[in-house]
């Protein structure tokens, strides 16, 4: 296969390693470093549930399915993954142990039950007797007690017991109603894992048996459910009912990984593997006991002094300088386009626009595509209010947003009850676009306000992910938006639009044509791409063709990147950088050309086959001069970053950039930009806000 491409799964593992490396950066506060260890772990969990799960299914197909970039079969990819993951998990455990020891100096002590002092031991025994033991469901496995179904990612205690010369296996599920850790009495934050406490008490639970071995273990299951699969075919009922049934199926899918809390004998390990139909390659010893949810809750318990020492300085998304506080959003948008940049700027102006629309007599309709929402969403409140006020509200909700399916089902019911019209998309295509269209009628006739974004309408992730939200009263973009929503309503995925790019019908074709325009310029051609992932074979081949023609291609790709840069004769003119830092890089920007002839888009789509061929996506041109300047500022800072940026080499490995130069951190710089530009908060002068910058930004 081509020497300028790499396997997507191995590329993703390298991305997750970059996440883990943030936990080693001494410039990052200590508890934030622990968060990166947790993010690495939760990322890996999802990788096994989805990517390894689907590869495991493909490996069982009679006719081998091969990777179109490397020619590897599904089984070869699995073997490569298993080999690559083991050292990463060992490195994760080493880093965790370092952080655990360092946190102890700040009064955060993760205690093993056997390390507790005498008073704490008494407390733990009493807690176990009164709160834990009464709700445990221990079980031995024999002919009358079959091996239980082990729920995905739920901790269990496993033990080998001796009884009159016979060995039996026993299991105790760790009750999900119990807290993940117990905080011990005292002034320090001393915490004990609930699972480790139960493990310590196994002898008490199985009285009359001799405990030969015991361990904490956890099973990861395939979670790659697809509503179109024959295995999940549901007769009758609407799509929402079908999705509810599919979510129940997810808990019963095949195991893909076994994690152990300690080393166990070959006999014990083989027993578990046989029962779960796993190989030893799929069994890992994992010493990291904490979830990301727990690490975040730990942060909430810190004293003010500890917060200052252990966390990033607090940053609140700022009000955009592009809008005048207190004036109607609609009136301002009609005068000029507005680009919001999350999390540096607040999502509030977009939400305020929806709230205005809900009560504005001139508003006729609101149409929106929804992929992910927060658990508590003001956006839903405003859409419901608009429907209750007689507006025509249409929400296309994608019920197959992975791991948010139940949340979306719940919100679809709430919206429907309020009188909104609910659409669910298409059997073979997820609707991943981020577009909202508000239609108004006033004295001058019908007009549109269109919002196109790179990220979800999720008020929580808008404080953690970098995303762009473009709001415009441009009548041509509005007309395209209206046509797009009509096409969605009638099931037409082949609509063509003058300004908007849309997949699955035209986006890839138009992107290829835009690259061809740069190829025609030769060494004067320029392309900038900011993406989460690059996997589509045709787009990769077209970028390689552009490089061979002399086009300079600069790519900022956070995660998977299957094209290798700087390969002689193939991709010499391609540079790839990845930025991993305080915020999750999520915005997608496409730029073709330079100067007045530059064509600039923001989009919900990555350069992935699924985005181009199997999803409904949107890209909008940026026609406002001010918005284009804002995006160029983002691009400039990301190119200059030499703190969180890593450049990809031709072999797929990464190295830090810009050694010897003054440090530039694009996240810090963009926070400073937002603070400097924001209107001063009530009671605070502009000068005092700027002075505070020096102490806030690391």
Catalytic (active-site) positions: 432
Look at strands 166-173 and 155-163 and give their pairing.
antiparallel
Which strand (E) or helix (H) includes residue 640? helix 625-640
Can you spell out the DSSP letters for 88-138? HHHHHHHHHHHHHHHHHTTTEEE--GGGS-HHHHHHHHHHIIIIIGGG---
Residue 649, judged by CB atoms within 10 A of its CB (0-12, 13-18, 19+), counts as: middle
Look at strands 526-531 and 552-557 and give their pairing.
parallel
Report the SS3 class of residue 52.
helix
Cα separation, 364 vs 391, in Å, equals: 6
Contact present, 268 and 260 (Cβ < 8 Å)? no
Radius of gyration of the chain (CA): 27
| Cα–Cα nearest to 552, from 531, 539, 571, 534 | 571
How far, CA to CA in Å, does 59 sit from each of 63, 67, 283, 495? 9, 12, 18, 37
Report the SS3 class of residue 274.
helix
Look at strands 584-585 and 363-370 and give their pairing.
unpaired
DSSP letter at 443 equals T
Cα separation, 538 vs 608, in Å, equals: 10
Contact present, 556 and 21 (Cβ < 8 Å)? no
Which strand (E) or helix (H) includes residue 276? helix 266-276
HSE-up of residue 386 (Cα within 13 Å, Cβ side)? 32
Which strand (E) or helix (H) includes residue 86? helix 74-104
Cα separation, 620 vs 477, in Å, equals: 8
Report the SS3 class of residue 325.
coil
């Amino acid at each position: 296969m081509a020497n300028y491409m790499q396997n997507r799964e191995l590329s993703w593992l390298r991305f997750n390693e970059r996440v883990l490396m943030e936990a080693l950066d001494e410039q990052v506060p200590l508890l934030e470093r622990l968060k990166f260890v947790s993010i690495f772990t939760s990322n890996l969990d999802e990788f096994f549930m989805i990517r390894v799960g689907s590869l495991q299914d493909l490996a069982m197909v009679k006719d081998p399915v091969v990777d179109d970039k490397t020619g590897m079969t599904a089984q070869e990819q699995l073997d490569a993954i298993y080999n690559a993951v083991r050292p990463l998990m060992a490195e994760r455990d080493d880093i965790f142990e370092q952080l655990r020891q360092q946190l102890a100096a700040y009064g955060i002590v993760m205690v093993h039950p056997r390390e507790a002092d005498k008073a704490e031991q008494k407390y733990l025994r009493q807690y176990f007797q009164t709160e834990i033991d009464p709700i445990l469901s221990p079980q031995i496995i024999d002919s009358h007690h079959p091996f239980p179904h082990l729920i995905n990612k739920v901790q269990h205690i496993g033990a080998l017991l001796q009884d009159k010369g016979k060995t039996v296996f026993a299991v105790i599920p760790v009750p999900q109603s119990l807290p993940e850790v117990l905080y011990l009495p005292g002034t320090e934050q001393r915490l004990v894992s609930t699972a480790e406490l139960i493990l310590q008490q196994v002898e008490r639970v199985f009285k009359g048996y001799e405990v030969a071995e015991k361990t904490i273990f956890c099973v990861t299951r395939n979670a790659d459910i697809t509503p179109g699969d024959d295995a999940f075919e549901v007769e009758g009922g609407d799509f929402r009912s079908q999705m509810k049934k599919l979510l129940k199926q997810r808990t019963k899918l095949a195991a893909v990984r076994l994690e152990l809390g300690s080393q166990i004998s070959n006999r014990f390990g083989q027993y578990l593997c046989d029962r779960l139909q796993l190989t030893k390659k799929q069994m890992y010893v994992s010493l990291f006991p904490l979830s990301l949810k727990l690490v975040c809750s730990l942060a909430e318990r810190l004293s003010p002094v500890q917060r200052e020492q252990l966390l990033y300085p607090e940053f609140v998304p700022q009000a955009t300088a592009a809008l005048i506080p207190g004036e109607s959003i609609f009136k301002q948008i009609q005068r000029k386009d507005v680009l919001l940049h999350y999390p540096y700027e607040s999502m509030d102006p977009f939400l305020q626009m929806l709230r205005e629309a809900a009560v504005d007599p001139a508003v006729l309709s609101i149409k929106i595509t929804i992929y992910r929402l927060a658990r508590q969403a003001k956006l839903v409140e405003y859409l419901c209010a608009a429907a209750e006020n007689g507006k025509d509200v249409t929400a296309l909700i994608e019920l197959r947003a992975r791991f948010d399916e139940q949340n979306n089902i719940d919100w679809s019911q709430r919206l429907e009850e309020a009188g909104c019209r609910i659409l669910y998309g298409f059997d073979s295509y997820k609707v991943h676009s981020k577009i909202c269209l508000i239609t108004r009628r006033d004295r001058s006739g019908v007009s549109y306000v269109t919002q196109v974004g790179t990220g979800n309408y999720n008020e929580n992730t808008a404080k953690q992910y970098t995303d762009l939200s473009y709001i415009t009263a441009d009548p041509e973009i509005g007309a395209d938006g209206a046509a797009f929503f009509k096409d969605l309503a009638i099931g037409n995925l082949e609509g063509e639009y003058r300004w908007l790019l849309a997949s699955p019908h035209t986006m890839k074709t138009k992107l290829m044509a835009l690259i061809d325009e740069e190829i025609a310029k030769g060494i004067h051609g320029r392309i900038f791409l900011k993406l989460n992932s690059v996997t589509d074979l045709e787009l990769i081949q077209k970028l390689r063709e552009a490089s061979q023609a002399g086009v300079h291609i600069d790519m900022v790709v956070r995660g998977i990147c299957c094209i290798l840069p700087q390969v002689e004769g193939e991709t010499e003119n391609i540079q790839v950088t990845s930025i991993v830092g305080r915020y999750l890089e999520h915005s997608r920007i496409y730029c073709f050309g330079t100067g007045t002839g530059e064509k600039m888009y923001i989009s919900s789509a990555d350069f992935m086959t699924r985005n181009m061929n199997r999803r409904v996506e949107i890209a909008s041109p940026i026609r406002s001069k001010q918005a284009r300047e804002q995006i160029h500022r983002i691009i400039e800072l990301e190119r200059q970053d030499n703190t969180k940026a890593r450049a990809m080499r031709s072999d797929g490995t990464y190295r830090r950039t810009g050694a010897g130069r003054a440090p530039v951190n694009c996240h810090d710089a963009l926070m400073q930009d937002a603070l400097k530009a924001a209107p001063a908060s009530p009671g605070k002068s502009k000068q005092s806000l700027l002075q505070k910058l020096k102490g806030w930004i690391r």
